[in-house]
A and B are shown apart, each in its own frame.
Chain A
Amino acid sequence: MSPTDCDDPEFAARMANLHGLLQMAMRVELTTIPLYLQAYFSLLDIGDGTVNQPAREAIRSVLVEEMLHLTLAANILSAVGGRPMLDHHAFVPRYPGMLFPDKALDYTVTGHRLLRDHRIPVRLRRFDRDQVALFEDIEAQHSAKKIVEGAIQIDSIGRFYAGLELELQDVVATYGRKRVFRGDPAHQVGGEYYYAAGGQLTTIGAGVGEPLAEALDAIRLITEEGEGLEEGHDIFDGEAIPGHPGADIAHVFKFREILAGRRYRPGDAWDGPPTGEEMAVDWDAAWPSIDDPDPDDPKLPHDIAEAMRAFDRRYSDLLRQINRAFMGAPHLLREAVHGMFELENMGLALMRTPLGNGRTAAPAWRFVPEGCGA
Chain B
Amino acid sequence: MSFEQVDAVIVGGGIAGALTAQRLVEAGMKVVVLEAGADDNGLSDGGWERYLEHFHRNPFKTPNAPYPPNPSAPSPSVLDVGAPAESGYFHQRGPNPFRSNYTRALGGTTLHWLGTSLRLTPADFELYTRYGRGVDWPIAYDDLEPWYARAEWAIGVSGEVADQKMHGITFADGYQYPMAPIPISWLDRMLVERLRGKHFEIGEETISLEPTPTPQGRNSIPRTEPADVAGRRRLVYEPRGGSVEMVWRGQRCEGNSSCIPICPVKAKYSALKTLGETRERHPLLLDIRTQSVVSRLECDPDDGRVTSVVYKRYAGPGDRSFDERRIAGRIVVLAASAVENAKLGLASNLRDASNQLGRNLMDHPFVLSWGAADQAVGPFRGPGSTSGIETFRDGAFRAERAGFRAEIGNWGWNLAAGSPASDVVRMARGQGLRGEALRARLRSEVQRQVRLGAVTEQLPSPENRVTIRPDIRDALGEPRPVIDYHIDDYAFAGMALARDVFSAVFDHADIAEVTEDDPHNPGWVERDGRGLVYWGSGHLVGTHRMGADSTKGVTDDSCRAFGHPNLWMVGAGAMPTIGTCNPTLTLAALTLRAAEDMVAKAGALG
Contacts and interface: CB of A to CB of B under 8 A. Distances in A.
Q: Which of the listed residues B247, B249, B265 has the most CB atoms from chain A within 10 Å of its own CB?
A: B247
A199 interface: yes
Given A49-B53, A49-B56, A49-B57, A192 B224 contact: yes
Contacts of B219: 195-196
Interface stretch (A26-34, A58-66, A288-296): A58-66
A196 B49 contact: no
B252 A196 contact: yes
Contacts of A48: 57
A320 B266 CA distance: 29
A285 B238 CA distance: 39
Interface in A308-344: 334, 337, 341
A337 B221 CA distance: 14
A64 B247 CA distance: 7
B245 A247 contact: yes
B241 A247 contact: no
B244 A247 contact: yes
Interface in A21-78: 48-50, 53, 57, 60-61, 64-65
B45 interface: yes
B49 A53 contact: yes
| Chain B interface helix/strand/loop/mixed | loop
13 contacts: A50-B53, A50-B57, A191-B236, A192-B223, A196-B239, A196-B240, A196-B247, A196-B252, A196-B266, A197-B251, A244-B244, A247-B245, A334-B221
B359 to A, nearest CB: 44
A190 interface: yes
Contact of B249 (A53, A190, A196, A337): A196
B269 to A, nearest CB: 13
B246 interface: yes
Nearest to B244: A247
Contacts of B12: none
Contacts of B53: 49-50, 53
Interface residues of A, number: 25
A98 B248 CA distance: 32
Interface residues of B, number: 28
B115 interface: no
Interface in B200-215: none
B184 to A, nearest CB: 15
A198 interface: yes
A49 B53 CA distance: 7
Contacts of A191: 222, 236
B203 to A, nearest CB: 46
B254 interface: yes
A53 B56 CA distance: 13
A248 interface: yes
Given A192-B222, A192-B224, A337-B254, A60 B247 contact: yes
B250 interface: yes
Contact of B45 (A53, A64, A192, A246): A246
Given A193-B221, A196-B252, A248 B239 contact: no
Contacts of A190: 224
